[in-house]
Structure 1
Amino acid sequence: MYICLEGIDGSGKSTQIELLMNWLNECGHEILRVFEPTDSQAGRLIRKMLQNPNATNENFQKTLALLFAADRIILMEKIQEAEDEGKIVLSDRCFYSSIVYQNGAEWIKEINKFAKKPDIVLLMDIEPETAISRCEGKDRFEDVYFLKKIRNRYLELADKEDFMVVNANNGLNKVHDDIKRVIAHKLGMCI
């Protein structure tokens, strides 16, 4: 099973993936944790570019979208291999991030056509002001106005794609319990 957590920066994806991974391990599942961008050469280039002051401008976004698509092709092999071994894949972001951050352009969908669609997508929905207070301030995307636009795009996409929306404004344990309920139901587990 391939599970992805999506959301704006500061929504708690990494923290919740860590908690989810620990819980699933305790339940006897083998886990592969992945993230986008990866630690491949393309991923490292993306991370560096995300710190550029022009990272949110349109042409820069096009370049990032192409790099993310290339990085994803590398990642898909790892995901498929893990699923073939019966592991649960937990991902911090997937191709939906490109659709949202690059405003859903058709060419974004085309360059990501080889990306595997997650079995479950959990959207960590949070107020941008709260998210900003959690961020480290490294990326150019950590701007309230920009994150409001991205949050709205995520919510629109969640409605179209049937994501599970989790209120990430709640406390850490409440969010974790909400996520566990969704995952337990999909895996036929009791919590």
Structure 2
Amino acid sequence: MTGRFITFEGIDGSGKSTQARLLADALRAKGHDAVLTREPGGSPGADEIRRLVLEGDPDRWSAETELLLFTAARRDHLERLIEPSLAAGKVVVCDRFADSTRMYQGLSRGDLRAKVDALHDLMIGREPDLTILIDMDPATGLARAKGRNGTEERFEDFGLDLQAKMRAGFLALAKEFAPRFRVIDGDRPPEAVAAEVEAVVLKALA
């Protein structure tokens, strides 16, 4: 059996984490064996790296160092959770994957896209079957993200300019990888977004 790999992308505060959870719940209710996970994280080793890259001062790491850390976390996640789940025929729903690295480290903090792609090809070698991009106004997303008052706000602390640059970058990425991307308007009530996400995913799984 071969499972299906579905990822959610978007700027900080876009609601993609909520939508990933709602989708996993909806799929389970319809009889699918769905696994909900996230990046960075998803395995014990990757969760340790998550704390390194998402907490602390904005200038704690260079973009190059972040690229190596995120790739190490993704490799562990891939080996320990994603690949075994797909091999068992499950639907893996992941909050962020390699497209976030293409944006955060490859575009938004430097011109590292070629290095991101080269390292991805060398160490990861997998793209999602379907990517849901939750698109949202950067100011709205940033206000939501900062309103969480959590400890994992290192990237939010880079400010609105970074969020705006990332939104444009994600939309460009959706065109570059058009066959697997679906762009969904996140500036709506969560239940309306969830209904559209579910419809898109069920069509893809049919």
TM-score (normalizing by structure 2): 0.84
Work out which of the residue numbers 177, 196, 201 in structure 2 matches 1:178.
196
Contact 2:46 2:77 in 1 (8 A): no
Aligned mates of 2:46, 2:194 — CA distance in 1: 32
Map 1:57-96 to 2 at 5 A. 60-77=62-79, 78-96=81-99
Tell me, what secondary structure is at the counterpart of 2:134?
strand
Counterpart among 52, 64, 70 of residue 56 in structure 2:
52
Residues 125-182 of structure 1, C-alpha deviation per residue, up to 9 Å, x if partnerless?
A: 1111111221125413212111001111111111111110010111111100110111
Q: CA RMSD in A?
A: 1.6
Q: In the alignment, does 2:168 pair up with 1:152?
A: yes
Cα distance in 2 for partners of 1:144, 1:168 equals 18
Q: Does residue 126 of structure 1 match 2:126?
A: no
The structure 2 residue matched to 1:106, chosen from 104, 114, 118, is: 114
Q: Residue type of the partner of 2:45?
A: Q
Report the secondary structure of 2:62's partner residue: helix
What is the rounded CA distance, in whole Å, between the counterparts of 1:73 and 1:130 in structure 2? 32
1:115 and 1:10, CA in 2 relative to 1: closer, same or farther beyond 3 A?
farther
Scaled by the length of structure 1, what TM-score is found? Answer: 0.91
* Distance (Å, rounded) in 1 between the aligned partners of 2:194 and 2:138: 20
Partner of 1:165: 183
Deviations, residues 13-47 of structure 1 (Å, cap 9, x unaligned): 11111111111001001111111111533442333
Query: Match of 1:154, as an amino acid?
Result: F
Match of residue 116 from structure 1? 126
Q: Are residues 153 and 27 of structure 1, via their aligned partners in 2, closer, same or farther at CA, if it must alter by over 3 Å?
A: same
**Structure 1 stretches lacking a partner, 5+ long:** none
Unaligned runs of 5+ in 2: none
